[in-house]
Chains A and B, each alone.
Chain A
């Protein structure tokens, strides 16, 4: 699906290929429901165009944040599960989530789209209300469940405006 800025809403296969280069070839991705960024356990990355206007977001649940972030540094799976249970994230995992969301930025762009870049990754409950409303009002959303090999599954939701 392409919006008016020609930003591309990635499909599971594309996301699987991109994230597979980070987490390993057995990474899987499939359709799932969309996340609400105003929920108390959802991280949200925001992406802006060259005029610093919000043009896309990628939200993820705590499971994706913990498993993906831990996988990038090959941290023990038990530590990742503990982060999901306690919502207490290692700084290194949060730094890794930032880099993963940076790499997700590539999935929104194609040859005909404008340029976007990662602006910020908001922790749960920190996304400004105006941005939550923008996400709620968008009709361009895709929910994808990602299996991070060796860790577990987590959900992400990609949104373009």
Chain B
């Protein structure tokens, strides 16, 4: 299963990968992007099985990326891993078509619980 991790923090991308492995998800391959622009370019070439995306990033935010994917009618399981976890932001994410929102900082348990339907 191909997992795309989109975050402008190199360390956070590593932590997300480590947490996925810690949650027991196996046979994962990863592709990384540091903003929405990079992610959209990569997705146009090869659509991953799932996108785990930060919200606030330079050049193109996670929400803008999701809107571009919707406009381009690219069907991919998309969710946020972000500090933007207030109820209004969760509602915005849901309305835009995000499948889930994992709040930073996260735990192995939260990854396991929220991502099992997609990666289990």
A102 touches B56 (CB 8 A): yes
Spell out A's residues near B (CB within 8 Å): 18-19, 21-22, 72-73, 92, 95-96, 98-99, 102-103, 105-106, 109, 111, 115, 117-118
Tell me the nearest residue of chain A to B108, going by C-beta: A21
Closest chain A residue to B89, Cβ basis: A115
B10–A95 contact, CB under 8 A?
Answer: yes
- In the bound complex, do residue A92 and residue B10 qualify as a contact, i.e. CB atoms below 8 Å apart? yes
Count residues of chain B with CB under 8 A from any CB of chain A.
Answer: 19
Residues of B within 8 A of A (CB): 9-12, 14-15, 56, 83-89, 103-107
Give chain B residues whose Cβ lies under 8 Å from the Cβ of A98.
9
7 residue pairs from A and B, CB less than 8 Å apart: A73-B10, A95-B11, A102-B9, A102-B56, A103-B104, A105-B83, A106-B105
The 10 lowest CB-CB distance pairs between A and B, nearest first, are A21-B105, A99-B9, A72-B11, A96-B11, A106-B83, A73-B11, A103-B104, A99-B12, A105-B83, A22-B105
List, in ascending order, chain B residues with CB within 8 A of A22's CB: 15, 105
| Min distance, Cβ A1 to any Cβ of chain B, angstroms | 20
Q: Is the CB of A21 within 8 A of B106?
A: yes
